């Protein structure tokens, strides 16, 4: 996957953490905010997790949240 798309997700998560009360974004929020389709977001998030840049930050009602690794 594209480094440009990965950076879009990282930038989105950074901005989301600063403006959101909950601090974690769902895959749907990331897809909507970046304009990347959900299937691609899923793959990119897995890659970013393996690279140690993003972490899964809990699950609520079966929906996983993601945030930047501190």
DSSP per-residue string spanning 1-57: --HHHHHHHHHHHHHHHHH-SS--EEHHHHHHHHT--HHHHHHHHHHHHHTTSEEEE
pTM for this model (two decimals): 0.88
Residue 66's DSSP bridge partners are 25, 56
Confidence (pLDDT) at 1:
57
Spans of all domains in the chain: 3-68
d(CA 8, CA 59): 23
Q: Model confidence over 15-50: pLDDT tens digits?
A: 998 888 877 899 999 999 999 999 999 999 999 999
- At the top level of CATH, the class of 3-68 is mainly alpha
Task: Work out whether the CA dihedral 48, 16, 59, 62 comes out positive or negative.
Answer: negative
């Amino acid at each position: 996957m594209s480094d440009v798309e990965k950076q879009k997700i990282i930038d989105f998560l950074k901005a989301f953490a600063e403006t959101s009360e909950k601090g974690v974004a769902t895959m749907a929020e990331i897809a909507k905010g970046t304009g990347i389709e959900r299937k691609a977001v899923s793959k990119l998030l897995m890659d970013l997790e393996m690279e140690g840049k993003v972490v899964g930050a809990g699950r609520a009602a079966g929906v996983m949240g993601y945030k930047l690794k501190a």
